[in-house]
Amino acid sequence: MRHILARPEQTQSRTALADSALRTAALAPTVFDALDVLADALLPLATLAEPLEVRHV
């Protein structure tokens, strides 16, 4: 089955973004570089998660 993107700007799935960030962080030369990589990865993941939030009135 083909994965259909929910939005045009969504070029990678959440799993692919997380995998890529973890892989890059694991190969980072310092722990601080690894933290920077993971922090940078959280921004697009948070953007993807925003539409999923449910507001209870």
Q: Looking at residue 13, what is its pLDDT?
A: 79
Helix (H) or strand (E) holding 49: helix 31-49
The answer to whether the predicted template modeling score (pTM) of the entire model surpasses 0.85 is no
pLDDT surpasses 90 at 32? yes
- Average pLDDT estimate for 27-55: 84
Task: For Cα atoms 39, 46, 44, give the angle at the middle one, nearest 5 degrees.
Answer: 65
Residue pair 42/25 in contact (Cβ under 8 Å)? The answer is no
Q: Looking at residue 15, what is its pLDDT?
A: 85
